[in-house]
Structures are given as structure tokens and as C-alpha cells.
Amino acid sequence: MPLPTTDTPGSPGSAGSAGSGFASASVPRHLARGALGFGSLIAAFALVPAFGPVTLLLAPVGVVALRGCPMCWAIGLAETVSRGRLRRECGPDRCELKPVAR
């Protein structure tokens, strides 16, 4: 009997549920969050010489848009792209990633 995983249909983290780790609802939405996050972080530090330390107020906007850190955003991108395409199946001795039959 396969062990339950976070990819099991109907479980809180399954591909059919709304909140799966760091994933977004769609790839374009995730890329827009990345553009806003990375743009805000870059602007926060690059504009300091021209506009002073007030531009550092853009840094929290970037951190919130990236949901914590650039690595969190990258993990979320991978989750968003693979959502619904792969399923982890675990047996008594190992787990495997298998494509979902459509």
C-alpha cells in the first residue's frame, strides 16, 4: 500500500488545492511577482546615490513580493511550473516521481 504524501489527491498540499508550498496560481502571476520583487530590491539599493536612503523603503516591498527570499521565489517557480504534471508515489522501499496521466 502506498504511503500518503503531500501529493496525494485531497491532501492539504496536493496539486488540486489552492495553497501548495511556495507555488502561485499561474506562471505569469509568479513571473510578475518576481519582476516586482527583484525590481524593487534592485531599485532599493541602486537608487540610494540619487535619492538617498528613502529608497530603501522599496526593500520590504521586494521581500514581500518574493515571499521571503529569492530562493523561495525560485522554489515557487519550480512548483508552479510542475504543478499537476508530476506526482510523487511512495512504496514500501522508495518514492518516485511519475507523470500524471491526463
Query: Is the pLDDT confidence value at 11 over 90?
Result: no
Each residue's pLDDT tens digit, 45-64: 999 999 999 999 999 999 99
Q: What is the DSSP letter of 86?
A: E
Categorize the per-residue pLDDT at 20 as very low, low, confident or very high, splitting at 50, 70 and 90: low
Q: CA separation (Å) from 32 to 4, 37, 55, 73, 91? A: 34, 8, 21, 11, 38
Instruction: Give the bridge partners for 97, in sequence order.
Output: 88
- Residue matched to cell numbers 506562471: 27
Mean pLDDT of 8-29: 61
- Least confident residue range of 18-27, 83-92, 93-102: 18-27
